[in-house]
């Protein structure tokens, strides 16, 4: 579009006055790596004119700070005549430690427009660090020994490497539509965004993010068809996530589930926590009754010293023929036996496999609300089976 005017003195030849272009730009991002990188912003004009246009810029710290995370500069950005775009490159510092932390942000601001006007005055630079492989946590809390009288350590995973051992663990992907039930709200993935090994811990991370029609992502790991167990003492040392709608679980299912189904296969819940009650965990067994759909028996354990996200605790069962006992930090809180099942089939004298997961929402915990922080993480230090 152009404006027209007439010259004085009766000369009606039109004079074309160009409309001032508008300058805008958008947020930019870059995944941080061990080496320095370059984040590029694209500064756009909504029209080309016959003269260069320019704006000055400054960069301001946010959660990203200069010179630690990036190099702050000032200067002038010029879009050449008859063109509609220029670029601004910002140096991003490398991070050899590859820390997992909230994404870092700084702001680029435009001012002092020349032959143009500024439609978008600022944009954010986002340094993507939320997927870093290195995450540590305070290791304080209860611990248990590597030996017990009368037992031998039959198997353990100390999570001491840098990757999950897929000779032992499976990633289950999908949602309850796969047949797991519970009306959970997350989509389980095999991505290292949702499960990874770092600093001696397995970490399962639930995120609030849109994924394949769901609003949350998480991970569900099993040893099905790879590691089955029957009887013994089992210790799992873990630090748990808490919050409305969060549901971490360390549990077992009968290895014959693919043939007899649930709950006939048996389910041993070593630990479940409903995030609304952060200082309470539950131990339960589930089976198929003679009549009805399912039956269960269990009990709650309350940690009077604080909630289960503050320190590591050890969740244990002592599993013998016809009986199971549940412990938290070696404190017995529930004992179940074959007598509790009555005349129904008792499935707990057969092989079972592990499942570790962090669910979001579902019939039991309900949905997250505005008080629920994300990401939510469960740290597992070790799982040990003594027989």
- Closest of 119, 5, 13, 2 to residue 49, by C-alpha: 2
Pairing of β 122-128 and β 28-31? parallel
114: left (phi over 0), alpha (psi -120 to 50) or beta: beta
- Closest of 223, 226, 220 to residue 189, by C-alpha: 220
| DSSP result, 166-190 | TTT-EEE-B-GGGTT-TT--EEE--
- What is the spatial distance between Cα 196 and Cα 339, in angstroms, rounded to a whole number? 41
Pairing of β 214-218 and β 186-188? parallel
Q: Is 209 a catalytic residue?
A: no
Beta bridge partners of 28: 125
- What is the spatial distance between Cα 357 and Cα 221, in angstroms, rounded to a whole number? 6
Pick the catalytic residue from 130, 184, 205, 267: 267
Q: What angle do CA 134, 135, 137 make, to 5 degrees?
A: 150
Q: Is 267 a catalytic residue?
A: yes
| DSSP result, 253-289 | EETTHHHH-TTTT-EEEEEE--TTSTTEEEEEEEE--
Residues with catalytic function: 267, 272
């Amino acid at each position: 579009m152009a404006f027209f005017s007439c010259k004085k003195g009766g000369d009606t030849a039109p004079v074309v006055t160009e409309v001032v272009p508008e300058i805008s730009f958008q947020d930019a991002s870059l995944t941080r790596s061990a080496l320095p990188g370059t984040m590029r912003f694209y500064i756009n004009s909504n029209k080309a004119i016959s003269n260069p246009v320019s704006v000055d810029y400054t960069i301001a710290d946010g959660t990203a700070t200069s010179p630690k995370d990036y190099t702050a500069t000032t200067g002038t950005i010029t879009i050449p005549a008859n063109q509609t775009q220029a670029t601004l490159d910002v140096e991003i510092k490398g991070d050899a430690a590859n820390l997992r932390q909230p994404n870092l942000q700084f702001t680029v601001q435009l001012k002092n427009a020349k032959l143009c006007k500024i439609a978008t005055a600022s944009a954010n630079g986002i340094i993507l660090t939320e997927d870093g492989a290195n995450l540590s946590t305070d290791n304080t809390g209860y611990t248990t020994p590597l030996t017990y009288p009368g037992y031998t350590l039959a198997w353990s995973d100390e999570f001491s490497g840098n990757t999950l051992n897929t000779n032992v663990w499976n990633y289950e992907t999908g949602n309850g539509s796969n047949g797991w039930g519970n009306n959970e709200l997350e989509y389980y993935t095999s991505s290292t965004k949702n499960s990874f090994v770092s600093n001696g811990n397995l970490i399962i991370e639930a995120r609030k993010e849109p994924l394949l029609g769901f609003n949350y992502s998480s991970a569900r790991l099993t040893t099905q068809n790879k590691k089955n167990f029957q009887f013994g003492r089992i210790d799992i040392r873990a630090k748990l996530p808490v919050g409305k709608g969060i549901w971490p679980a360390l549990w077992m299912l009968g290895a014959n589930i693919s043939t007899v189904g649930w709950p006939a296969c048996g389910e041993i819940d070593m630990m479940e926590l409903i995030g609304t009650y952060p200082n309470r965990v539950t131990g339960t067994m589930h089976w198929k009754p003679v009549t009805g759909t399912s039956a269960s028996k269990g009990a709650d354990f309350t940690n009077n010293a604080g909630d289960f996200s503050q320190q590591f605790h050890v969740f244990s069962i002592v599993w013998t023929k016809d009986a199971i006992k549940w412990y938290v930090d070696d404190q017995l809180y529930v004992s179940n036996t074959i007598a509790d099942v009555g005349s129904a089939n008792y499935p707990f004298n057969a092989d079972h496999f592990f499942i570790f997961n962090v669910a979001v929402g579902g019939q039991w915990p309900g949905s997250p609300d505005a008080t629920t922080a994300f990401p939510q993480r469960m740290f597992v230090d070790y799982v040990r089976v003594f027989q």
